[in-house]
Chain A
Amino acid sequence: MSPSAPDTADITWDLVRKRNFVERLKHEKGGLAVIADLPAMIATGYEAVPEEDFVRLQWHGLYHDKPKLGYFMLRVKLPGGVLTPQKLRAIGDISARYGRGHGELTTRQNVQLHWLAMQELPEVLAALAAAGLTTAGACGDNVRNITGCPLSGLAEDELFDVRGVVAEAAEFFLAHREYSDLPRKHKITIAACPHQCNAPEIHCIALLGVLRDGRPGFAVKVGGGLSTWPRLADDLGVWVPREAALPVLRAIVDVWREDLRYRLSRTRARLKFMVHDVGAADFRSRVEARLGRRLDDLEAGAAPAPPAVEFDHVGLHRQRQAGLWWSGFPVFLGLMDADAMRGVADLAESCGGEIRLTRRQNFILAGIPEERVDDVVRGAAALGFPLAAHPLRGASIACTGDPFCNFTVAETKGKLQEIVEHLERAFGDAVAGLRLNLDGCPHACAHHWIGDIGLQGTTLRERGPAGERLHGYDLFLRGGLGRGAAIGRPVLRRVPGTEVHRVIESLVRAWLAGRAEDEPIQAFFTRHADDALLAMAQSAAVSASIPSLVDSGIDSGIAGAAPERG
């Protein structure tokens, strides 16, 4: 039984507003417009502000921190992950002054702050604006931060520079208010990175750089996304010249936002549902009809080849510009507090460099003159970002989680730290290529569906001795991006938080012992049945020889090799 949506002809705005509370709310007062009311909200006091206005504040990148008592998380949009020292310093200053020093990097190249008090939001937003930064459209039914390869304009192997396209699109969708009333959030990524570091498979729209006879343009993917209904994007089978990128993006967003079928229900509103319903070929026809012209076919074999595995830009490398280097620094748990932000800003400024953010919650310092490279690497280490950290630290991600997020049901960053430190001790370099993705809830901000090992927080059926809730994790295996892109399966369920590091150790041990030569962990999990994986997870009391986690330090020295240049 799967009743379908009413026929498009039968759907009116009245029906949409009857069925969909948020459509009603947006109709009454737009999300972006709420900012004009902020002074009045502050004057009235938190108690008297209706919850609806707090939902509208999402349009300005503001979400209640937990508990919902008038303190906010704020998400700063950084198109393409591009920052300057001045901008990062401004964010750090705001964090220190208004946000208790907290800060974190996100999987979509944003920076988030926490615990900003409602009455101070006007000052905070003004300070951001003064630094050339915005939070408008960072949450809510908007084109969210447009992501891309953080090395655009810098990498030796980039096909062409996409920064202009990213900036133009970001500006356009923010400036035109109809794109702030989308059926749901919308995620666009644009890059000409040969490693496809920007995860085109899981975006609503992805533009992938393709040179045709030397002319820059893009292949297009549509309909990807994770959350509770994960779906990998489809190829649209077209090639779009660089100068036509924005009109095509607009047409794609238009055919979706104008179809009322995707406004009836917020749980079935994202572009992926439309692509699923109509198919990529029909979706392409609709886009062409909206544009009023055919799109060029992308000839078979011309589509950019996906990377072998998911890729992130880390380590020290020569830049396209002669005499300059860039370095991707791992940010363990994606945490960067106010002091670290200001320190990194100073460091970048001291060498005339700039800062970029990667989608695995790490940062890049670029534009480092050759003679300053050693200084900068030492300086970053002193700030808590040693280049020689175990690669797991840069490659593993966790969502925001406790104590900030209202949605999370289990510990996220703290638990990831425990697991990573445990695996470092148990396996050292053998797990250098592993990616752990840990989420506290089904929203999948940390993309648990596509990690080598994905974790999603849950609670156990049993209760603790004092009747307290016990955290647990569902483990997702067989997912990944790149050549073998696939959505993972929740193979292990409700593993207690107290034991999850050991269960992961068992799985990793089984893979290391049983893999074919160089077999990636995803392939290993894929060729074993659920029962076999369950048996592996339970095999042996593996941890008897593992020293206590309590005394495991940050500088475990496992990856201890000096950074290699190249």
Chain B
Amino acid sequence: MWNATNALRADEGLDELEAGQLAEELEFATPQEVLAWALDRWGGNAAISTSFQAEGMALLDMAWRIDPKVRVFTVDTGRLPQETYEVIETVRARYGMTIEVFFPDAAQVETMVRHHGPDLFRKSVQARLRCCNVRKVEPIRRALSGLDAWITGLRRDQWASRANIRKVEIDHDHGGLAKVSPLADWTAPEVEDYNRDHDVPRHPLYDRGYTSIGCIPCTRATAAGEDPRAGRWWWETNAPKECGIHCPVETGGFEHEMDAIVHLGAVGPAAAARER
């Protein structure tokens, strides 16, 4: 039975009215100001989520300068490139940080691989979404379950449908914790400049033509002039025009595609196409 104690457990977090107000007040704050505010408000109940790409590294560096004890988590999907582990080691040495690494649930991976094979993501969009869900999204959910706020490297110009994300919002896809995106209005060159100026460790795969770095079987280098989005899941046809693990309600996102393609599949456009 629902009761107010459970429902209000996280109300030291934000409600919708306060989140809207804060987003308005912080809209023209710098990333460091937003970070400082978030770390001051939530302290150890906030954590940076990073996959050690440029945005996450910039955030990590900024936050470390504000509070060296800042919490940072990442997901080891089990299919990461060796270079990512090298970056983790570099970060550990350079910043003296404990990176909280979350792994997929072993039983879920075992079941999935037993039934569908290790490379199921090549077989269909549904299968790939399942793989993402087990290896990446579920561990993130576990990481978030203990937090009041998570801090992401989302930028508005990464994807056309992300243009409206707010620097502070309630993440209704994950139980209503706060989601903070200090880099929301930065451009990619601003992130690069920051990282260069502060000598922030750089993922080695960028120098080999990668524009987006995730699991190694699902990521590749792109040629100059090629759409950077071609570096992910390039073999897929009929895949949704949306990507990644960040799914603020403003953009739709992974959870929504999962709901539609995997859970509601019977009524989705795939079914519509079949009816025709």
User: Which chain A residues have a beta carbon within 8 Å of chain B's beta carbons?
Assistant: 1-6, 18-22, 24-25, 47, 50-52, 54-55, 64-71, 100, 115, 117, 227-230, 264-268, 273, 402-403, 406-409, 441-442, 456-463, 467-469, 472, 474, 487, 489-490, 492-496, 499, 503, 534-535, 537-538
Which residues of chain B are within 8 angstroms of A51 by Cβ–Cβ distance? 159-161, 241
Complex: A104 Cα to B239 Cα, angstroms: 27
Task: Name 18 interchain pairs, CB-CB below 8 A, sorted by A.
Answer: A21-B163, A22-B160, A50-B160, A68-B241, A68-B257, A69-B269, A115-B269, A230-B17, A230-B20, A442-B20, A442-B170, A442-B172, A459-B176, A461-B10, A462-B175, A468-B263, A487-B17, A494-B175
A230 to B21, CA, bound (A): 9
Residue of B nearest to A115 (CB): B272
Complex Cα spacing A562 to B260, Å: 43
CB neighbours of B242 from chain A (8 A): 67-68
- Is B270's CB under 8 angstroms from A69's CB? yes
Closest to A475 in B: B7
Return A327 CB to nearest CB of chain B, in Å.
Answer: 34
B232 to chain A, nearest CB (A): 13
- Chain B residues with CB below 8 A from A69, complex form: 238-241, 268-270
Q: Which residues 115-166 of B sit at the A interface, judged by CB distance below 8 A?
A: 138, 141, 145, 156-157, 159-166
For B175, give its contact among A50, A65, A461, A492 (CB under 8 Å).
A461
Q: A1-B29, A403-B260 are in contact. Are A456 and B16 (CB under 8 A)?
A: yes
B260: A residues at CB distance < 8 A: 66-67, 403
Least Cβ–Cβ distance between B28 and chain A, in angstroms? 5
| B170 x A402 contact (CB < 8 A) | no
Contact segment of B72-80, B88-96, B203-211, B247-255: B247-255
B 9-47 to A, binary, CB cutoff 8 A, 1 in contact else 0: 111000111011101111111100100010000000000
Contact of A67 among B138, B172, B257 (CB under 8 A): B257
Most buried by A among B17, B163, B172: B172
Residue B180, interface by CB 8 Å: no
* Closest partner residue, chain B, to A25 (CB atom): B160
- How far does the alpha carbon of A523 sit from the alpha carbon of B130 in the complex, in Å? 49
Which of B37, B169, B174, B238 lies in contact with A1, CB distance below 8 A? Answer: B37
Bound CA–CA A493/B173 (angstroms): 14
Contacts of A47 in B (CB 8 A): 237-238
With A5-B28, A50-B227 known as contacts, the answer to whether A495 contacts B2 (CB < 8 A) is: yes
A266: chain B residues within 8 A (beta carbon): 156, 163-164
Bound complex: CA A536 to CA B164 (Å): 37
Q: Whole-angstrom distance from the CB of A527 to the nearest CB of chain B? A: 19
* Contact of A2 with B268 in the complex, beta carbons under 8 Å: no
**Inter-chain contacts of B138 with A (CB < 8 A):** 467
Task: Select which of A1, A65, A459 is within 8 A of B25 by beta carbon.
Answer: A1
Establish whether residues A407 and B250, one from each chain, have CB atoms under 8 Å apart when the complex forms. yes
By the criterion CB–CB under 8 Å, are A458 and B176 in contact?
Answer: yes
Tell me if A228 and B19 are in contact (CB < 8 A): yes
Q: A52-B160, A67-B256, A492-B4 are in contact. Are A268 and B24 (CB under 8 A)?
A: yes
B contact residues around A265 at 8 Å (CB): 27-28, 185
A250 to chain B, nearest CB (A): 27
Q: Is B98 an interface residue when CB atoms closer than 8 A count as contact?
A: no
* Residues of A contacting B25 in the complex (Cβ-Cβ under 8 angstroms): 1-2
Instruction: Flag whether B54 is at the interface (Cβ < 8 A).
Output: no
Specify which of A268, A402, A409, A490 is in contact with B16 (CB 8 Å cutoff).
A490
Chain A's closest residue to B241 (CB) is A68
Q: A228-B166, A493-B7, A496-B2 are in contact. Are A459 and B15 (CB under 8 A)?
A: no
Whether the Cβ atoms of B23 and A229 lie closer than 8 Å is yes
Q: Which one of B159, B162, B241, B264 has the highest number of Cβ atoms from chain A below 10 Å of its Cβ?
A: B241
B261 CB–A CB distance under 8 Å: yes
Q: Which of B23, B187, B240, B270 contacts A228 (CB 8 A)?
A: B23
Beta-carbon nearest neighbor of B250 in chain A: A407
- Known contacts A3-B28, A54-B241, A71-B269; A493 and B256 CB within 8 A of each other: no
CB distance from A11 to the nearest CB of B (A): 11
Contact with A along B53-69 (1 / 0, CB 8 A): 00000000000000000
In the complex, the answer to whether A22 meets B33 with C-beta atoms within 8 Å is no
Cβ 8 A contact of B249, one of A20, A441, A460, A467: A441
What is the bound-complex CA distance between A6 and B174, given in angstroms? 34
Query: Is the C-beta of B82 less than 8 angstroms from some C-beta in chain A?
Result: no
Q: Would you call B264 and A403 a contact (CB within 8 A)? A: yes
Cβ-defined contact, A19 with B21, below 8 A: no
Query: Is B106 engaged at the interface, CB distance under 8 Å to the other chain?
Result: no
Query: What is the bound-complex CA distance between A47 and B230, given in angstroms?
Result: 11
* Chain B nearest Cβ from A163, distance in angstroms: 34
A280 CB to nearest chain B CB (Å): 18
Q: Which 6 A-B pairs have the closest CB atoms?
A: A406-B252, A461-B175, A21-B157, A2-B25, A67-B260, A228-B20
**Residues of A contacting B111 with CB < 8 Å?**
none
Task: Give chain B nearest CB distance to A117 CB in angstroms.
Answer: 8
Q: Is B8 an interface position by the 8 A CB rule?
A: yes
Q: Give A560 Cβ to nearest chain B Cβ, in Å.
A: 33
Q: Do residues B256 and A273 form an inter-chain contact, with CB atoms below 8 A?
A: no
A46 to chain B, nearest CB (A): 8
Residues of B within 8 A of A5 (CB): 27-28
Cα A268 to Cα B9 with chains together (Å)? 30
Which residues of B lie under 8 Å from residue A100 when comparing CB positions? 272, 275
Known A66-B256, A67-B261, A115-B269; 15 more pairs at CB < 8 Å: A1-B29, A3-B26, A5-B28, A6-B28, A19-B185, A20-B185, A21-B160, A67-B257, A100-B272, A406-B252, A406-B256, A459-B176, A461-B9, A467-B138, A538-B2
Across the interface, do B238 and A66 meet the contact criterion of CB distance under 8 Å?
A: no
Residue in B3, B141, B145, B161 whose beta carbon sits within 8 Å of that of A55 in the complex: B161
Closest-CB distance, A335 to chain B (whole angstroms): 15
Point out the residue from B240, B250, B268 that lies within 8 Å of A403, measured CB to CB: B268
CB contact between B176 and one of A55, A229, A493 (< 8 Å): that residue = A493
CA distance A227 to B19 in the complex (A): 12
Contact A68 to B240, CB < 8 A, known contacts A22-B163, A459-B174, A494-B176: yes
In the complex, which residue of chain B has the Cβ closest to the Cβ of A6?
B28
Most-contacted residue by chain A among B27, B145, B165 (CB, 10 A): B27
List B residues 186-245 near A (Cβ within 8 Å).
187, 227, 237-242
Cβ of B8 and Cβ of A493 under 8 Å apart? yes
Cβ B249 vs Cβ A442 within 8 A? yes
Distance in angstroms from B133 CB to nearest chain A CB is 9
- A267 and B159: CB pair below 8 A? no
Chain B: which residue is nearest A488 at the CB level?
Answer: B17
**Given A25-B160, A406-B256, A461-B175: A493 touches B11 (CB 8 Å cut-off):** yes
Q: Chain A residues with Cβ under 8 A from B170's Cβ?
A: 442, 458
Contact A442 B269 (CB under 8 A): no
Q: Which residues of B contact A267 (CB under 8 A)?
A: 23-24, 27, 164-167
Distance in angstroms between the alpha carbons of A462 and B141 in the assembled complex: 11
- Check if A499 sits within 8 Å of B33, measured CB to CB: no
Q: Which residues of A contact B8 (CB under 8 A)?
A: 493, 534
B13 to chain A, nearest CB (A): 9
Distance (Å) between the CB of A415 and the closest chain B CB? 15
What is the minimal beta-carbon distance from B7 to any residue of chain A, in angstroms?
5
Given the complex of chains A and B, what is the CA–CA distance between A268 and B185 in angstroms? Answer: 12
B27→A268 contact, CB < 8 A:
yes
Residues of B near A499 (CB, < 8 A) are 1-2
Could you tell me the distance between the alpha carbons of A273 and B23 in the complex, rounded to whole angstroms? 12
**Inside 8 A of A489's CB, which chain B residues have their CB?**
15, 17
Measured CA separation A305–B172 after assembly (Å): 38
What's the nearest-Cβ distance from chain A to residue B98, in Å?
Answer: 25
